[in-house]
Structure 1
Amino acid sequence: MKEIFDGIKTAVKDIAQALKYSDFGYTANQNATGDTQLKLDVLSDEIITKTLSKINLVKELVSEEKEKALKVSGDGEYIVAYDPLDGSSLVDVNFAVGSIFGIYKGSLNPANLVASVYSVYGPRTELVIAKDKVELFRLDKQGDFAFASELRLKEKGKLNATGGLQKGWDEKHKNLIKSLFDEGYRLRYSGAMVSDLHQILLKGGGLFSYPATSDAPKGKLRLSFEVLPFAFIYELAGGYAVDNEGKRLLEINLEKVHQTSPCYFGSKYEIDKVKACLA
């Protein structure tokens, strides 16, 4: 699997460079879930496809920007599902964005998720690799990813990041969010899932949520390359990840490549509160 990690590192470096100088405009196309594609979305997808398709261990690539899985090797045993540039609509205002990767062995099934990786393109380029533990790396002056620290969540945090239009929240979710603010939680939400989850992870705890809403009753975030990779990371870091019924996200039945789900990620205290409020 080291070869896959190394391929991801190469792609992340190339995307970080592309973000500095490439065109921020939109294309005339939409991706499989109906989002208008930025030129940077397409370029990032092309960079990852070109890099990972050379690795014999990889048999399929599943991307937010591809309607179907792309078969790349008949001999490979791993599927890499990825969001090439999460939060890409924030690039024009220079917010931190990132890339998310889930590595599945055999088939695209939550039980087969064996590793997750994500990058953050901000003042520094950072990479988090989760396999047996969750490790943070930072791109150094020599162009290498240097180990920085192991990441662990505390029992309780202080941050609250919740998405979706508030007018579309149901009463249970509204009450949950209000109770967190009543307890003194601080709002930290940028609109880039990868950046918000990264902040909570580095700060030691809190809650990230993207609930079911009236216009998206099955949630908006995609399971295979957004939700499940982070569920794997949060659980490995000592946290929890559940849907709006309190069910463990890594036990969801994944039926479609672009399937979505409401999702809640956090420390033990926050997820216990989620289960109590949404029950």
Structure 2
Amino acid sequence: MTDIFEAIQRSAIRIKNAIDTKDIGYSNQANSSGETQLQLDIQCDMIIEEELSHVLSVNTIASEEKEHPMQLNKNGKYFIAYDPLDGSSLIDVNLSVGTIYGIYEGDFGSKNMVASCYVVHGPRVEMVFAHNKVKLHLLQGDNWEFVKEIRLSEKGKLNAPGGTQQNWTDYHKEMVDGLFKEGYRLRYSGGMVPDLHQILLKGGGLFSYPATSDKPEGKLRRLFEVFPFAFIYKLAGGEAINGKEDLMTLSHAHVHDTSPCFFGSKYEIQRVKEVYANN
């Protein structure tokens, strides 16, 4: 696992340099969802692929930017799914973006996840790595410094509701409004990584991306986004569900399968369970 951790660290430094200096315009290529890729999406994907290709313990990688997984080392035992630049559409307005990694042993799948990681590229570059504990690291120059272990409170204060409101169900909107009536503060940038990072570091709250009328199976991908953050939140003392079920009990049929998802402290997730149990 140490060699993977170090490859992620190297990738993050190279991605920081790419964000600082590379073209942020659109390419003439599309990703697995048919969305036109930014030049940076392609560059960051290539950086991570290159760094992980040097790690003999990595068998196969899957990128959100590629339609199919790619085998690197047939004798490796780890399978890594990653989103090279989550929230890349925020680059041109200079908001925080991130990279997400799900690390699986033996094959892809929630039951095979052994670690996960994300990197926040904002005013500072920070990395959260979850294996036995959830640990925060800060990039200082070209070196990474351990900062602290992260634990969530039982109840938070932040509410980050994703998805277009006109496509929400009535009961979901009522639940979100109910949290605001309790004094929760809106914190939503449109970037999954910085929004979930803020909830983790500020003690707790709720991030939700529900099933909507236009995306009944959810928008966020299980292997690249949903499972990695579910692993982190549960290890940090929180919970992660799809409305009713624990996200880490879900299977997948295709590498790009999606799911509705809710991440938060125990109090907020209990609220979600109560609302969704009756609908």
Alignment coverage as a number of residue pairs: 277
The aligned residue for residue 233 of structure 1 is: 232
| 2:91 maps to 1:79 | no
* AA partner of residue 262 (structure 2): Y
CA distance in 2, matches of 1:261, 1:172: 18
* AA partner of residue 105 (structure 1): E
The aligned residue for residue 269 of structure 1 is: 267
The aligned residue for residue 37 of structure 1 is: 37
1:105-133 CA-to-partner distances (Å, cap 9, x unmatched) read 00111011000010000111101110000
CA distance in 1, matches of 2:17, 2:150: 26
SS of 2:48 mapped into structure 1: helix
Which consecutive unaligned segments of at least 5 residues does structure 2 have? Answer: none
The aligned residue for residue 133 of structure 1 is: 133
The aligned residue for residue 158 of structure 1 is: 157
CA distance in 2, matches of 1:216, 1:34: 15
- Identity fraction in percent: 55
CA distance in 1, matches of 2:69, 2:185: 39
The aligned residue for residue 182 of structure 2 is: 183
Contact 1:175 1:277 in 2 (8 A): no
CA distance in 1, matches of 2:149, 2:83: 24
CA distance in 1, matches of 2:276, 2:175: 8
- What's the CA shift for 1:158? 0.2
The aligned residue for residue 253 of structure 1 is: 251
- What's the CA shift for 1:27? 1.1
CA distance in 2, matches of 1:135, 1:15: 21
The aligned residue for residue 219 of structure 1 is: 218
- What's the CA shift for 1:253? 1.2
The aligned residue for residue 112 of structure 2 is: 112
SS of 1:127 mapped into structure 2: strand
- What's the CA shift for 1:54? 1.2
CA distance in 1, matches of 2:222, 2:127: 21
* AA partner of residue 205 (structure 1): G
- What's the CA shift for 1:29? 1.7
SS of 1:18 mapped into structure 2: helix
- What's the CA shift for 1:236? 0.2
Q: Map 1:24-103; keep pairs closer than 5 Å.
A: 24-103=24-103
- What's the CA shift for 1:34? 2.1
SS of 1:184 mapped into structure 2: coil
CA distance in 2, matches of 1:91, 1:168: 26
* AA partner of residue 107 (structure 2): S
- What's the CA shift for 1:36? 1.6
1:59-110 CA-to-partner distances (Å, cap 9, x unmatched) read 1011000100001101100001000000000000100001000000001110
Contact 1:161 1:207 in 2 (8 A): yes
CA distance in 2, matches of 1:174, 1:36: 31
Which consecutive unaligned segments of at least 5 residues does structure 1 have? Answer: none
CA distance in 2, matches of 1:133, 1:36: 37
Contact 1:163 1:210 in 2 (8 A): yes
TM-score under structure 1 length normalisation: 0.98
* Alignment root-mean-square deviation, CA: 0.6
